[in-house]
């Protein structure tokens, strides 16, 4: 049986995340110390005490979720649970690469903080937006985006499940797309409370800036395959890591295809590692028959070990 780990992206953060593993595991606690040293401020305190408004800042959220996810993986490793394949949603791809041994943890923490800053600064506040369109298939959403653009940018940003698709772009174009989705039979279409139009072409400036940061990182070949957001391909060599991370910033997250690829590679059990249970919920809509579990604290780890038993 092949076990897959999947790692959450931005939006799964919450004050208190990671505290259980920090208190229970010396290795997890050391990770927070390493992250704080890399960033120049006390990340553990921000994660565990907030304030929430500061944790929600993109440049803080990204290293915080990365650290919480890797700390949870440490807890799993201490119990002898290791994946055969990994993937992460947007920011989570960095967690996956760290766990696969491709990116050094401290370097990844520094890079994702810069990534968050670059993405936030790529578009003036208030000019970009994202929206979730539910109940429509990808081809329909792509047509809606074409019809709504009217000289502006609006495009698919996340294919989270076959009928849960997020779009991003100029605010006015996104609003037109939301209206069209309602007219064309969408079950629900809502603007998201986010600070920038992530994974759209409006992020190209952020991608260019990120390239300079990633160029400084020592990258290794992953020890296990990492499924890429950009094309659901497998990253197995060091040379593939940086180019696809750069492309990822301004390209759609093809999460449905990522999960389907892991299933084709033999994954039958999926463990969402890190804060929240978003990816576990999406799994049910993508891969019929796959088993999904979430590990975000020692209590949920014990529950997974008990329920899955010899499967992991």
| 89 counts as catalytic | no
- Spell out the alpha helix ranges (H) of 166-275: 171-183, 204-214, 238-249, 255-264
Distance CA(311)–CA(305), nearest Å, equals 9
198 token code pair: 């992530």
Burial of 41 (0-12, 13-18, 19+ CB in 10 A): exposed
β-strand pairing of 188-191 with 128-134: antiparallel
| 102 counts as catalytic | no
Q: Which of 90, 161, 200, 300 is catalytic?
A: 90
Q: Which of 170, 199, 251, 300 is catalytic?
A: 199
Please state at what angle helix 58-78 crosses helix 92-99, rounded to 10 degrees: 30
Q: How far is CA 251 from CA 41, 70, 285, in A?
A: 31, 25, 23
Q: Which residue has the tokens 């579990």?
A: 293
Give how far the C-alpha of residue 194 lies from the chain's centroid of Cα atoms, to the nearest Å. 15
- What residue ranges in the chain does DSSP mark as E strands? 2-7, 85-88, 128-134, 154-161, 164-170, 188-191, 226-227, 234-235, 267-273, 291-295
DSSP-derived secondary structure letter, 63? H
Length of the chain as a residue count: 312
Q: Residues with catalytic annotation?
A: 90, 199
């Amino acid at each position: 049986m092949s076990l897959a780990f999947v790692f959450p992206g931005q939006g799964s953060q919450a004050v208190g995340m990671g505290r259980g593993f920090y208190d229970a595991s010396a290795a997890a606690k050391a990770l927070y110390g390493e992250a704080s040293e890399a960033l120049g401020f006390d990340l553990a305190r921000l994660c565990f005490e907030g304030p929430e408004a500061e944790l929600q800042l993109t440049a803080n959220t990204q290293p915080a979720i990365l650290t919480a996810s890797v700390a949870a993986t440490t807890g799993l490793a201490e119990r002898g649970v290791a994946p055969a394949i990994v993937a992460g949603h947007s920011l989570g791809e960095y967690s996956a690469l760290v766990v696969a041994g491709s990116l050094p943890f401290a370097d990844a923490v520094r890079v994702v903080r810069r990534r968050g800053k670059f993405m936030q600064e790529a578009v003036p506040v208030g000019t970009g937006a994202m929206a979730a369109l539910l109940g429509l298939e990808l081809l329909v959403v792509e047509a809606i985006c074409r019809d709504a653009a009217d000289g502006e940018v609006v495009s698919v940003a996340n294919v989270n499940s076959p009928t849960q698709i997020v779009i991003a772009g100029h605010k006015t174009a996104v609003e037109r797309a939301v209206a069209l989705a309602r007219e064309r039979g969408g079950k629900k279409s809502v603007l998201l409370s986010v600070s920038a139009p992530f994974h759209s072409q409006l992020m190209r400036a952020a991608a260019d800036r990120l390239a300079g940061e990633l160029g400084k990182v020592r990258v290794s070949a992953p020890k296990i395959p990492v499924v890429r957001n950009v094309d659901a391909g497998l990253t197995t060599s060091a040379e593939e890591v940086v180019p696809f991370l750069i492309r990822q910033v301004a390209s759609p997250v093809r999460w449905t295809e990522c999960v389907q690829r892991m299933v084709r590679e033999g994954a039958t059990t999926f463990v969402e590692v890190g804060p929240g249970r978003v990816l576990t919920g999406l799994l049910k809509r993508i891969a019929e028959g796959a088993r999904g579990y979430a590990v975000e604290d020692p209590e949920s780890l014990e529950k997974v070990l008990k329920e899955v038993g010899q499967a992991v």
